[in-house]
Each structure stands twice: as C-alpha cells, then as structure tokens.
Structure 1
C-alpha cells in the first residue's frame, strides 16, 4: 500500500498534496503540516520528548532512559512492573500475580481498561474452556466452527502477512491462545456468544460485558493476587543498569517523581494514535484519516518513546488497523452511514468504477478509498435504491457484531437532510450530480450506462459482483455519498521476538524489557485483516499473558 502525505485540511477537502512520505522502515517521516504544527507539538509534549525537526526519525521521539545510579532511592519495589492498565497490561499483571511475582501496575489516567472499551470479539480456537464449555450451554449463542489445526491457522496467518511476521511469535500465539482464555474462564469470565471468523479457520469469543467485562475479570484477579494498581501514576522513563538491563521506571506517584525498582518491566500503553506528531512523522499518510475508535484514550506513544530511549528499535512496518470507510460527518450506523456502504456503484473522481462493491469485510471499503489519490470514493445510488433501503433488509452486514440490517423507513428524509447539511450530494440528473460532487460528468455518465447494461443482463463480467446485488441506476434524483477511510489504532510499535522480549538494533533482547499489544510489532506486518476476527485483542491478551511467563523465567534466572 502506498503511503501518501497530506495535511488534515487538504485531505478533508479532497485535494491531494504532492509529495511522498517515507515509511517507518526507513526511519524517516514528514513533520506535521503548518496548520497542525501547534497541535502536534502539544500532543508530543505529553510523551516528554522534544518536538522533532522538519524531518523526523523514530529516534527523535525517544525518551532517554535513566541510569540506576541517577534514579535515587526506590519509592517502591517489585518483581514485575507493568506500565499501562489496558487489555494487555492488566492481563499481564493478573497472570504475573498468579505466578507469585510481586507486581505493580502504573496507569497514567484516572481509570483502568484502556482499549477494552472498544473490544467486542476476541479470537479463540477450539481448544479453550470458554468454547468447549460454552458449546454445551443452551443459553450461549453458538455459531462457532471447528477451528483449523495449529498448522492450518499458522499457514493462514503467515500467508496474509506475506510471511513477514515473526514466525516464533505467531507460533507461540497459536500454541498459547487457549491459556489466556482458560485463565479468564477460571476466574469468572463467561461467554455470551461464540462466533466463527469470517473466513479464517478460527473462532471468536464475545464475553459477557464484552471487552470491559473481560477486563473487569482480569483486574479482579490481579487484585486477588495482590497486584498493586496505581492510577494517575504515569511512568516517565525507563531505568537501566550499567549493563543496559531494564530495572524499573521513573514515575510520578502522588504528585512526586520517584524510582519504582523492578526485576522486569512490561510495557503496554496502547500505541500512539493520538499523538499527531508521531503519526505524521512515523506513518505518513495515516494522520488525516477520518475516524479513530480510540480517540478518547491517552494513546500518545509514551511507552514506545520510553522503550526507544532504552535501546529498542521500531518495528519495520507502517500501518494501522483499518476501520472501513464511511461518509465524513455521518453518525455511526445512521441512515447515511449505512447507505454509504451499500453495494451499489463505487466510482472515483473521474467517474471510473472501482471494484466489486459487495464487500464481506470492511477492509475492502478501506483499501478502495486509501488507494485513490484523494483518499475517497463515491457510492452512487438512485431513487429506487432509496426505496429499497426503506422497505428491504440492507445487503451488507452492519459494521458491528450486534448491528442490524433492518430497513430504515426514514432513509429518504435522512438523505435529504444530509444534502441540506452538506454530508452528501444530489442531482436530478447524473450530470447535475457529478457537478455537485466534483466528479467528471462524462466519466460518470459513461460508467453508469455501462454498469446498467451489466445489471440488465444479470452478469457482472467486469468485477464479478453476484447477480443478486446488481441494480441499475436509472431513476432520479441521484445521490453520491463520499466515503473516506478511517482507522482504529496504530499497529507499529517496537520490535519484539517470539518471547515478547524487546530487541535492540543488534537483534539481541534487552534484558528485563517486554512489550505487548499496540506497543509491539512483528505480528501484523502486511495486513490487519478483519476476516481473522478478534486477532488484535487476542494478540493483546496473549502478549500480556505470555510476557509474564517469560519474565518469570528471567527473574528466576537472576
């Protein structure tokens, strides 16, 4: 996927800005555009790092580690220090506590839970207790499938990432996936729905309370095992000894800076999607995108910056988790949002048809949009389509697991209101529509004419859309819904190995340092594919859980 660099203002007006951004693999990126510079510097300041120069590298965001000789007398001591109290951090703390490690969690905000607020389904295979036991429970919705063998799951995932993912990491994820689910089940988490992945040989588990429900079980278990959880207590820098081993962190606790000594440290702070300077410098082309699920969270990259300062290197990838495309400004699951993703006719600015519009995962809608020079495409519908959406079930599944495909009687009224407010475009004729939307009129008319012929013969020999989704666009007025891509979270943290250890530029593990979830890389490489359902939260659970195992081995060896 090409990475394009443009400012937020330029993107939102649909005008491309010339110039290419370097990918994170090259350790170079473009600085924020002028109009975003102040906001970017303010966001960056939250990490404690200085603002980057005009051309930034990952190292420019590093927060220098503190030498243990300069850290002062510890204000707290523990075996295992966890930075971040979200999915992976709380899972790591709970499991570490169960292993007998004295454990402290540092959370910079006033509450725990992190991205668990957006977690619906978590990946699980056929060998875990929630699926085995849940399949016997008539009160649990069960549409799961028999998962593939470990070899089949491994091959499927590696193929989707062009075999670039760390092989040991993927293997350990597959072999240990059941352990974090068994831990949750043994500590009181119960599934309310068992689901198959869309096309991967895996399943998903939706726990009661969804992500928050699972997180509550983790936190309860952590407290049961004596884990000390400190909120409003941000870590500010890692502490290293003379050999470079990580031996704790500096932190602000009760308003005072102090050294928390530890034998091993796990970092899981949720990535950097809300640090505009880091986004625009390290993954150019993603910064201006429309919507982020974690926009309300303090995901400013501080954990990554601290690890870079202790010798970590960035994972050589530069992408985020796609959230699909949608109409800018339209409310989630509103009439306009739903109409925008129905499989009618997708065209670009010159009026060319772009793809088979009948998508099965939102990855397709995302990638169609981001591959256009102006990061958008238009869904063209006519009055017959409006009537159809008012009286018949929608043709594409709702984005959310629990969404509805029921018809919307108010579709016509909502579209007209959207035209008045500028959310979409209308024309009594195709020419009027094209002029209103900024589409080439001749190109649009030619494309609609050709598309209508495909619909009339009942066969799409251009992009092979199934015949049952072919509807001619003939009855005015016509509407154009401009779709732009959005994203959930960053996916490119620091490099780790298969044992969740953070590695340095030589490829060796940094003693005592582990990273998981969105702060770690090497798992998702070429693609985050929603057909592999629940893999992001599954990976967060796994990295937190398995890191505690690895840290226990390390601590026992000291």
Structure 2
C-alpha cells in the first residue's frame, strides 16, 4: 500500500497517540512519560509532546543479547558516510566493526563536491571564490548554517577527494567532473561552480550515477584490511553508561537486531559512529522537523534499507531516534532542509540543474516569479503556490531561441546537443502523455485545466518579451522568450522528494552534543544526519555537497579524528 499526501499528514497527526503500524518494529514498548524525564532538557521526550518517537522504548536487557563483539570503533550504517569513516579509522590504526541494516553497501546518485582535486587540476578547472560562493549559500538559509562545518569541509575536501580516488583506482574506478550550467557569470546568484566529482568505470560511464563504485570499493578495502562488516543488523538502541538507552556517561556500544530477530551488541572502545541516513519514512519526525516537504513524499509505509535512487522517501530515522533517547539534542535550525527536484528540472531545461526559464503559472493561471533560478529554488517556490501546483508553457520558437540545449547527466566539457535531438526528446514526452502539444493556446489551457485568465497572462508575458524588459518580475532580457509559434507545449510540474537533511546537534568534529552543545562522550554522527550543515533547502548550486561534505570529507576526517583523539 502507498500512502497519499493526505494519508501521510493524517497519519502523522494520528500517530501522536502511538506508532503507525509501519514503524512499530522500530519502537518497542515505550516507557511512561515520567520514566523518560531523565533525558536532556532539550530532548523531545521531556517537552510534554506526544510524538511516539520522542519516548525511549524499554531498554533491551543484557539477557536478551545473544553475542557481543568489540572493536576500537563501531560504525552504524553502510552508505558512503559510514564506509568512509570506517576505512579512514582503520587506516589510522583502529580496529573497526561496521554494522548496517542493509544487505550490501548502499548508494544513490553520485555527485560529490570538492573544492579542488587532482581531477580538477588535470582538467584545468580553478578553485572557485569560496568567500563569495559560500556566503551566497549561507544567505539562502538566512545565515543559520554552521560555518565551522562548511569551512572545515572546504579546507579538507581536496585531501578527502584525492583519498577517495586512491580507494577506487585499484578496483578500476576513476573520477570525472560533472557539468554545471554554462554561461552564468560568477557574480550571478545562480552561479554553480564546476566542483562536483563523479565516479565511473568500464561499466558505469555516465556522471552522477556512480556512487556504487565508491561504496563497493570502500567495503572491499575495509574487509581486505582486516575490518568486519555485519549486514542486516538494524541499530535499535545505544548503550550509555553501561545501560541501554542510558542518559549519563559514555556511549559504549550499539545493540542491533539481526536478520533472525536476535540481538547482538557491538562495543566501541573509542567511539560509536551513527551514519544511518535520513528520517523521511517517519511521519511524526517529518511533521515536527520538516513539515513543508510532506506534500512531496510517497511510499512512507514501505521501509527498504537497500533502497537506491528514489523520489519519495528513504529511511526511518533509526540513528536519530537512538541519539535522542540517550540525551542528544536536535539541531538548532528547524525546519530541516530537504533536497527536492522536479520533472521540469533536467527533463526539459536547457541547462542542467536550472529550472524552466520561460513562463510558469500557478493553478489560477497567474505568473508568480522571476523564472530564472536553479531547479531546487524554483521548486521550493512552486510549493508555495496553491496546492503546490505549477505549470510550464512555451511555443515551438523556444527550441531555437531557448538554446543551446544540454543533457543531464552531463560531464564537464560536453558539447550541447542539437535542436533535432532536443525536439526528439520533446516528442517522446508528448507521446508518453507527460506533456501536451496543441495547435492553439486555448486548447493547451483546456488540456492543462487552467482558467481562461491564463491567456491574459500569456499575452502580458509576450508583451514584456517584445519590449525586452520584464516590468513585472525583472527577469533578465535574454530569458524573455515569447510564446508565439505553434505548436504550443505545456505540462504540470511535479516537485519530487530526494532526502531530508540534518538531525542531531553536531559540532564541527562530528561529535553528537546535548542541548548545551556539550559532546556526548563516545558518540559521533556523519552523513545525512549531520545537524546544521544545510538550512532552508538544498540548492544544488554547491552540487554534490551532501555526499562531498557530510559523507566523504566528514567521514574521512572523523575516522582520523577518533584515532587521534579518543
């Protein structure tokens, strides 16, 4: 069964009494609210709310644990962040155990941002202006992002990326650069530097889809160098101060549920590192921490720890919950940022990562914005419209006047595709019913179920295009292309969810902290879980920064940091 958007919201509210069925396995019998008062003053379980995820479950007793394993470092999560941390720690002299709910290394997509690397040097790509570019990213989130993390990433990303390239090369992998939008001046707010790295080999040759090359190489490296990996082990509770779900002392271990239902304890003498992905499968967590993204979610009742690239929802927040139950605080910046895309981005746009730069209207047939924006910001704005519904409209002349056209995914340096190839792509979308193609604008508006007032909007837009001045929204004249030649095209934009970002309060060394920003001894987190790195929305202008910063660079640095400081 797949939940509708309305079901999701209703379920989130209804679940305030108890767990929804799909998440019941993640939340064993709960303590009373009185029993949970020992948690940190800022943990959700003591704030008088009724979200079930905030209430710690009954501790798993020592007598229930079938086996115990021990290493210097225990990492929970088999994706990019967890594997980078594990291999880095092992190469720094630590013994390492990695446990993962998945059956094998997990990855999706494949864009990894680095400020510089030997691949950039080989391609003659310079470093970007970090002062200008990072401040622009901070502005998007109202200057609420943790700048300590951003500049620690920038200062160490070259070393981390070159290390990753060293990891994949023995297995036939190599790095390439992903293409960014062309012809946008560095001073433009929508500028995206060439800094996203992708991994390819003899089988995966396209950019942006080769993250599996890295995670598979990391897993092989970990095992070949003496580390241990236990798949299909779902982290259930942390052990702090010798007690499962304890709230004082050092985090010493994680208790995981194995495939056969038994429990195993994995003790980390130096540290336990959480790297369990996002929390988008938990309706309550999404309602509290990222409600604006709820309309973009689908299939929240289906938990698949091996899920690949999917537009809908990903993980149930296992690591976040375990951290909250032992006294970790949530990040300061709420609502959390989310990564969203749309069927108008890349499928249609003349530049990768941009939104549609022609006319966009809402369900009232009104133009509502300056359309020249990166795709993520365009889609975030679209969600602000009535019912989150927006439409793209253009004429046949857009083919000649809107180019040059580029494909996605695209490697840096790839030439644009021909107008003939672009027309073929348009025709395919019409044939499969995703787009409408009509001889008149009246017919197009009828097909899109837009009101007749849309024709007035189109007439006004054409008038401004002919003037060469956008008097309404002041879009750059080069993007003011009239809708003048039949046939006319249009479709409804669909905003799609990729992941929700952040979670536990995290310092710049990836130590998980309480409400007073005091590190909880022995507990770290990396990857999508890292709190307060992103804010507002993932812009895609620092393309690949979740993988490149939170997963790869912070994973690499955290393994080394634990070895040197714990």
TM-score range, shorter chain: 0.7 to 0.9
- Please state how far the C-alpha of 1:523 moved relative to its aligned partner: 0.7
Q: Does 1:148 align with 2:165?
A: no
Distance 1:288 1:9 in 2: 5
1:446-497 deviation per Cα after TM superposition (whole angstroms, max 9, x unaligned): 2111111122233333334444443332455644311121221110311101
Match of 2:195 among 189, 193, 203: 203
Change (3 A) 1:381 1:73: closer
1:82-112 deviation per Cα after TM superposition (whole angstroms, max 9, x unaligned): 0001010000000111111111010112111
- Please state how far the C-alpha of 1:504 moved relative to its aligned partner: 1.1
- Please state how far the C-alpha of 1:60 moved relative to its aligned partner: 2.9
- Please state how far the C-alpha of 1:74 moved relative to its aligned partner: 5.3
Q: How does 1:310-329 map to 2 (within 5 A)?
A: 310-315=326-331, 316-326=333-343
Q: Does 1:244 align with 2:234?
A: no
Change (3 A) 1:44 1:369: same
Partner of 1:440: 451
Partner of 1:226: 226
Partner of 2:115: 125
Distance 2:157 2:327 in 1: 29
Match of 2:409 among 400, 413, 418: 400
Contact residue 357 and residue 372 of structure 2 kept, 8 A: yes
Match of 2:562 among 543, 551, 555: 551
Partner of 1:262: 268
Distance 2:59 2:297 in 1: 38
Match of 2:321 among 288, 305, 311: 305
Partner of 1:95: 88
Contact residue 297 and residue 313 of structure 2 kept, 8 A: no
- Number of residues of Structure 1 aligned to a counterpart in Structure 2: 504
Instruction: Name the SS of the counterpart of 2:552 in structure 1.
Output: helix
Partner of 1:365: 378
Give the structure-1-normalised TM-score: 0.78
1:499-535 deviation per Cα after TM superposition (whole angstroms, max 9, x unaligned): 1111112321111000111122111123422111221
Change (3 A) 1:548 1:318: same
Contact residue 256 and residue 265 of structure 2 kept, 8 A: yes
Match of 2:22 among 33, 38, 43: 43
Gapped regions of structure 1 (runs ≥ 5):
1-6, 13-28, 136-141
1:188-211 deviation per Cα after TM superposition (whole angstroms, max 9, x unaligned): 446442357663567222223431
Distance 2:531 2:452 in 1: 45
Partner of 1:15: none
- Please state how far the C-alpha of 1:435 moved relative to its aligned partner: 4.2
- Please state how far the C-alpha of 1:222 moved relative to its aligned partner: 1.5
Distance 1:322 1:401 in 2: 20
1:241-272 deviation per Cα after TM superposition (whole angstroms, max 9, x unaligned): 15431100111346221222212100001112
Distance 1:62 1:228 in 2: 32
Partner of 2:41: none
Match of 1:78 among 71, 80, 92: 71
Distance 1:396 1:369 in 2: 23
Give the structure-2-normalised TM-score: 0.77
Distance 1:485 1:166 in 2: 27
- Please state how far the C-alpha of 1:232 moved relative to its aligned partner: 1.3
Distance 1:40 1:65 in 2: 15
Distance 1:298 1:342 in 2: 27
Partner of 2:546: 536
Contact residue 29 and residue 58 of structure 2 kept, 8 A: no
Contact residue 430 and residue 441 of structure 1 kept, 8 A: no
Q: CA RMSD in A?
A: 3.9
Distance 1:118 1:411 in 2: 22
1:297-344 deviation per Cα after TM superposition (whole angstroms, max 9, x unaligned): 8622111111111111222322443333226xx9x8489xx9x96433
Contact residue 178 and residue 196 of structure 2 kept, 8 A: yes
Change (3 A) 1:534 1:58: farther
Contact residue 346 and residue 354 of structure 1 kept, 8 A: yes
Bigger shift: 393-402 or 505-514?
393-402
Contact residue 271 and residue 300 of structure 1 kept, 8 A: yes
Instruction: Name the SS of the counterpart of 1:322 in structure 2.
Output: strand
Change (3 A) 1:297 1:553: farther
- Please state how far the C-alpha of 1:370 moved relative to its aligned partner: 1.2
Instruction: Name the SS of the counterpart of 1:93 in structure 2.
Output: helix
Bigger shift: 364-373 or 409-418?
409-418
Q: How does 1:326-475 map to 2 (within 5 A)?
A: 326=343, 333=347, 342-359=356-373, 361-382=374-395, 384-385=396-397, 389=399, 397-402=406-411, 405-406=417-418, 407-410=421-424, 413-414=427-428, 416-418=430-432, 421=433, 423-424=434-435, 429-442=440-453, 444-475=454-485
Instruction: Name the SS of the counterpart of 1:88 in structure 2.
Output: helix
1:35-77 deviation per Cα after TM superposition (whole angstroms, max 9, x unaligned): x999982432353367999x96667345548489777685211
Change (3 A) 1:484 1:187: closer
